[in-house]
Amino acid sequence: MSAAGEVVYLDNNATTKVAPEVLEEMLPYFSEKYGNPSSMHDFGGQVAKKLNEARERVAALLGADPTEIVFTSCGTESDNHALRGTLESYPEKRHLVTTRVEHPAVRSLCQYLGRRGHDVTELPVDSDGLLNEDEFGASVHEGTALASIMWANNETGVMFPVERLAEIAHEKGVVFHTDAVQVVGKVPLDLRHGAIDLLSLSGHKLHAAKGVGVLYIRRGTRIRPLLIGGHQERERRGGTENVASIIGLGKACELARQTIEEERTRVKELRDKLQRELLARAPDARVNGHLEQRLPNTLSISFEYVEGEAILLMLSRLGICASSGSACTSGSLEPSHVLRAMGVPFSAAHGSIRFSLSRYTTEAEVDYAIEHVPQVVKRLREISPFGRGATDRDARMEYGRGSAPPGGGS
Amino acid sequence: MWEYSEKLKDHFYNPRNVGEIENPDVEVQVGSLTCGDALRLMLKLDEHQRIVDAKFQTFGCGSAIASASALTEMIIGKTLDEAARITHRDIAEYLGGLPEEKIHCSVMGHEALEKAIALYRGERASEEDLEEGRIVCRCFGVTDTKIRRIVKENRLRTVQEVTNYTKAGGGCMSCHPQIEDIIAEVWGELREKGEEAAAPRPRLTNIQKIAMIQEALEKEIAPALRADGGDVELIDVDGDRVQVALRGACADCPASKLTVKSVIEAKLHELVSDSLVVEEVEA
């Protein structure tokens, strides 16, 4: 474990800790106030009131109207609802547009829809992980039912200009959905003054509980429900509400509104420090993704000649939690589809590590990682036959951005 | 997270015999950076061909490093003849078992050992000569020779098993048909020689046969068809005649019908009984 004997949690894009204030607000709704919000008695009615408050708090964080908020069970459900519900509303349109770097919640679904007879365009990204807007514009047409483009990438943190893309989609009469799971709570949003029709978010990525999500549906958007049942959520999502988690999500959104400024100041400074120091202390390292158009909390970094799972196991023993785009961590044999879509060489993709911070991350934790990560990489390079330099012809593979600390704003 | 045994973790965190031997009697390397794992093995032998020292360097995941560490521990003190009897299963067992998807790590260790012994004994003139065969899996550079050997040695029946053992087919998947062909060829040869399996297939009762056909269709055949919008349903089994109905995309495509019938038949021969005949019925 770490010096303090605690876990140094740098994996906040995977999940976050439930904020203490959130937990406190949730607890009464398991025990004393367990009524069903649909019931015709005050005991249930008080819960319904609290649900409405949560809806207002979520809407306030998104810059949306409370009636546009539909509570779901997770980000994946929101994505499924958005895509399948839209396609069902436009049966004559068989085409959809997405990207090669989406989260599996969208990517696997689009591939499934493709096998079921839909025509799917997967837009490529460049070596910085960015989309070409003109290419997007050329891909949508009258036969397109929906474009689904993530707001920020979970692995690299690279952000797409989805507000502009939504306007382009609208010009062609195409519904625009964005998976904003990694953005909500990290970057201020104002959906009211934008063109996005549908947006997915997940509670556990912003210090609420697991098992709750939201689909934002702009007023007037044609969409069928995914779960058909009771009249809950204005008949847009049947099923008794996950009351305590929804109330917790409301609180988490309120907290996020208060602390969001910290993300692009303190959290970003810590991320930049981590990036700067790791590049300085570990040779043959490179950052994956555009350095500016990126979430303030995310760092994807590749260490050549070492393999990501081995790094994670060693870090785990030191109490440091992170993720990898390496093949060996996923059970598949190929490294992350995101890094491959960016053309990151296999040799670098295998050694990629993602660090993701939160507002609970302290400077001491970042310093602890700065001290230990380069040592782990060095240790594994001592074991590796490639560590001494390019003995293998693969080691001389075309190599992109160098290991010098990036200039400019970071 | 993978479920690794304590012994495996120990060999990963505290690998034995890492490093290089000055003037080794034999040195080999298997795998590459692109593949995601590579192993360099060096051996020192005495005049009785006994391995007095072994050192390794590994680029790879936790189980790849642990497998190499275990291998060196297992072979030090053994003669080449004794070492040659070690299998990849022995390496996995030594580590307290490996997850299915990680078997290729122990296979890589074994491969390095095999290559080193062959090279030392002069059965191969140089390291390059060992790279014989035609590349089947381009993603991981696996040859038909290797796939054939692994299929034969381990009596593998599915592409997934071949991937678990060799990584072949785990990338873009475009070589899956070729791997299927190799599996079929190897089994054809095994059948000819009567070496199909350790235990010959028992005679099946009708109930057993139907259950096995049902399972083969459900688990091995239908998923592939469903991926392309088709499906298959078992209608009846009469002696060795298996009647199936094709559904979805398969049912509308006369060209695919022929292929599907032969694919189903081959699969049922492989998994259930060689005497089965598949018939397609409208139902």
**Minimum Cα–Cα distance from A327: chain B residue:** B36
Q: Which of A119, A306, A307 to mutate to test the interface with B (most CBs of B within 10 A)?
A: A307
Residue B124's pLDDT is 58
Residue B196's pLDDT is 72
- Specify whether B52 is located in the same domain as B148: no
- Does B10 fall in a domain? yes
Rounded to an integer, what distance in angstroms lies between the CA atom of residue A166 and that of residue A172? Answer: 10
Q: Which residues of A touch B167 (CB under 8 A)?
A: 333
- Does B104 fall in a domain? yes
Domains of chain A: 8-15+260-396 (3.90.1150.10), 20-256 (3.40.640.10)
**Minimum Cα–Cα distance from B15: chain A residue:** A383
- Specify whether B141 is located in the same domain as B174: yes
Query: A152 — phi, psi (to 5°)?
Result: -135, 140
Residue B17's pLDDT is 96
CA distances from A97 to A94, A145, A165, A180 (A): 10, 9, 11, 17
Three-class DSSP category at A331: coil
- Check B140 against A333: CB less than 8 A apart: yes
Residue with tokens 């190929």: A334
In sequence order, what are the beta bridge partners of B234?
B244
User: If you ran DSSP here, which 8-state letter would residue B100 be given?
Assistant: G
Q: How far is B181 from chain A (nearest CA, A)?
A: 22
- Specify whether B236 is located in the same domain as B187: no
Q: Give tens-digit pLDDT for A202-252.
A: 999 999 999 999 999 999 999 999 999 999 999 999 999 999 999 999 999
Q: Which of B12, B42, B61 to mutate to test the interface with A (most CBs of A within 10 A)?
A: B61
- Check B163 against A333: CB less than 8 A apart: yes
Where would I find the beta strands (DSSP E) of A141-220?
A: 144-148, 175-179, 198-202, 213-217
Q: How far is B228 from chain A (nearest CA, A)?
A: 6
Residue B251's pLDDT is 67
User: If you ran DSSP here, which 8-state letter would residue B18 be given?
Assistant: B
**From the CB of residue B141, how many other CB atoms can be counted at a distance below 10 Å?**
16
**Mutual angle of helices A42-62 and A243-262, in 10-degree steps:** 30
Residue A7's pLDDT is 94
- Does B1 fall in a domain? no
Q: Is residue B250 pLDDT above 70, yes or no?
A: no
**Minimum Cα–Cα distance from B61: chain A residue:** A310
> Residues with Cβ < 8 Å from B242, sequence gap 6 or more?
B213, B234, B236, B264, B268, B276, B277, B278, B279
| B58 at interface of A, judged by CB pairs closer than 8 A | yes
User: What percent of chain A clears pLDDT 90, i.e. is strictly above it?
Assistant: 86
- Does B43 fall in a domain? yes
Residue B213, classified by CB atoms within 10 Å of its CB into exposed (0-12), middle (13-18) or buried (19+), is buried
- Does B276 fall in a domain? yes
Residue B202's pLDDT is 54
Q: Give tens-digit pLDDT for A36-95.
A: 999 999 999 999 999 999 999 999 999 999 999 999 999 999 999 999 999 999 999 999
- Does B199 fall in a domain? no
Q: Is residue B69 pLDDT above 90, yes or no?
A: yes
Residue B158, classified by CB atoms within 10 Å of its CB into exposed (0-12), middle (13-18) or buried (19+), is middle
**How many CB pairs lie under 8 A apart between chains A and B?**
92
Three-class DSSP category at B231: strand
Among residues B81, B101, B130, the one where a domain terminates is B130
Q: Is there a contact between A277 and A352 (Cβ–Cβ < 8 Å)?
A: no
Residue with tokens 């994996």: A11
Instruction: State the complex-level ipTM.
Output: 0.81
Note which residues in 161-180 of chain B have CB less than 8 A from chain A: 163, 167, 170-172
How large is the average pLDDT for residues B207-217?
Answer: 83
Does residue B105 have an active-site annotation? yes
Residue with tokens 């093949």: A327
Q: What is the CATH number of the domain that holds B149?
A: 1.10.10.1100
- Specify whether B52 is located in the same domain as B82: yes
- Specify whether B260 is located in the same domain as B237: yes
Q: Is there a contact between B134 and B144 (Cβ–Cβ < 8 Å)?
A: yes
Q: Is there a contact between B138 and B175 (Cβ–Cβ < 8 Å)?
A: yes
Cα pseudo-dihedral A316, A319, A320, A321, rounded to 10: 60
Q: Is there a contact between B176 and B139 (Cβ–Cβ < 8 Å)?
A: no
Residue A12's pLDDT is 96
Rounded to an integer, what distance in angstroms lies between the CA atom of residue A147 and that of residue A121? Answer: 9
CA distances from B270 to A166, B113, B266, B274, B275 (A): 53, 33, 6, 7, 10
How large is the average pLDDT for residues A259-263?
Answer: 94
**Minimum Cα–Cα distance from A388: chain B residue:** B57
Q: Which residues of A touch B59 (CB under 8 A)?
A: 305-307, 383-387
Q: Is there a contact between B28 and B119 (Cβ–Cβ < 8 Å)?
A: yes
Look over chain A and give the mean of its residue pLDDT values, rounded to a whole number.
91
- Does B145 fall in a domain? yes
- Specify whether B158 is located in the same domain as B230: no
Q: Is there a contact between A297 and A267 (Cβ–Cβ < 8 Å)?
A: yes
**From the CB of residue A211, how many other CB atoms can be counted at a distance below 10 Å?**
15
Q: Is there a contact between A224 and A237 (Cβ–Cβ < 8 Å)?
A: no
DSSP letter string, A75-135:
HHHHHHHHHHHHHHH-TT--EEEEETT--HHHHHHHHHHHHTT-EEEEE---TTSPPPHHH
Q: How far is A17 from chain B (nearest CA, A)?
A: 19
Q: How far is B103 from chain A (nearest CA, A)?
A: 12
Residue A402's pLDDT is 32
Q: Which residues of B touch A335 (CB under 8 A)?
A: 36
Q: How far is A239 from chain B (nearest CA, A)?
A: 30
Lookup: tokens for A102: 């989406």
Q: Which of B16, B30, B59 to mutate to test the interface with A (most CBs of A within 10 A)?
A: B59
| B15 at interface of A, judged by CB pairs closer than 8 A | yes
Lookup: tokens for A346: 């296999």
**Minimum Cα–Cα distance from B40: chain A residue:** A385
In sequence order, what are the beta bridge partners of A50?
none
Does residue A253 have an active-site annotation? no
Residue with tokens 């060689």: B274
Q: Which residues of B touch A309 (CB under 8 A)?
A: 61-62
Note which residues in 336-375 of chain A have CB less than 8 A from chain B: 346-347, 350
Q: Which residues of A touch B15 (CB under 8 A)?
A: 383
**From the CB of residue B20, how many other CB atoms can be counted at a distance below 10 Å?**
13
**Minimum Cα–Cα distance from A325: chain B residue:** B36
Q: Which residues of A147-183 are buried (b: 16+ CB within 10 A; e: fewer)?
A: bbbbbbbbbbbbbbbbbebbebbeeeebbbbbbbbbb
Q: Which residues of B touch A326 (CB under 8 A)?
A: 36, 61
| B250 at interface of A, judged by CB pairs closer than 8 A | no
Q: Give tens-digit pLDDT for B83-137.
A: 999 999 999 999 999 988 888 888 899 999 999 999 998 875 445 445 567 888 8
- Specify whether B178 is located in the same domain as B81: no
Residue A332's pLDDT is 62
CA distances from A53 to A105, A371, B169, B244 (A): 29, 45, 52, 57
CA distances from B244 to A19, B41, B221, B276, B278 (A): 57, 53, 12, 12, 7
Residue B254's pLDDT is 60
CA distances from A13 to A6, A301, A357, B43 (A): 19, 15, 8, 45
- Specify whether B45 is located in the same domain as B154: no
What's the pTM?
0.77
Residue B190: left (phi > 0), alpha (psi -120 to 50), or beta?
Answer: alpha
**Minimum Cα–Cα distance from A376: chain B residue:** B13
Q: Is there a contact between A205 and A14 (Cβ–Cβ < 8 Å)?
A: no
Q: Which residues of A touch B12 (CB under 8 A)?
A: 310, 313
In sequence order, what are the beta bridge partners of B237?
B242
- Check A307 against B34: CB less than 8 A apart: no
Q: Is residue B194 pLDDT above 50, yes or no?
A: yes
- Specify whether B79 is located in the same domain as B164: no
Rounded to an integer, what distance in angstroms lies between the CA atom of residue A296 and that of residue A267? Answer: 7
How many domains, in total, are found in chain B?
Answer: 3
How large is the average pLDDT for residues A300-304?
Answer: 95
Q: Which domain does B148 fall in, by range?
A: 135-192
Which of A115, A328, A387 has the CB atom closest to B228's CB atom?
Answer: A115
Q: Which residues of B touch A384 (CB under 8 A)?
A: 57-59
- Check B36 against A383: CB less than 8 A apart: no
| B40 at interface of A, judged by CB pairs closer than 8 A | yes
- Check B58 against A385: CB less than 8 A apart: yes
Lookup: tokens for A61: 């964080």
Residue A333's pLDDT is 63
| A233 at interface of B, judged by CB pairs closer than 8 A | no
| A398 at interface of B, judged by CB pairs closer than 8 A | no
- Check A347 against B34: CB less than 8 A apart: yes
Rounded to an integer, what distance in angstroms lies between the CA atom of residue B130 and that of residue B137? Answer: 17
| A303 at interface of B, judged by CB pairs closer than 8 A | no
Q: What is the CATH number of the domain that holds B261?
A: 3.30.300.130
User: If you ran DSSP here, which 8-state letter would residue A405 be given?
Assistant: P
- Check B33 against A394: CB less than 8 A apart: yes
- Does B256 fall in a domain? yes
- Specify whether B116 is located in the same domain as B51: yes
- Specify whether B144 is located in the same domain as B256: no
Three-class DSSP category at B37: strand
Q: Is there a contact between A196 and A211 (Cβ–Cβ < 8 Å)?
A: no
- Specify whether B251 is located in the same domain as B139: no
> Residues with Cβ < 8 Å from A316, sequence gap 6 or more?
none
Lookup: tokens for A307: 């393999």
Q: Give tens-digit pLDDT for A102-149.
A: 999 999 999 999 999 999 999 999 999 999 999 999 999 999 999 999
| A36 at interface of B, judged by CB pairs closer than 8 A | no
- Check A386 against B62: CB less than 8 A apart: no
**From the CB of residue B166, how many other CB atoms can be counted at a distance below 10 Å?**
27
Rounded to an integer, what distance in angstroms lies between the CA atom of residue B147 and that of residue B165? Answer: 9
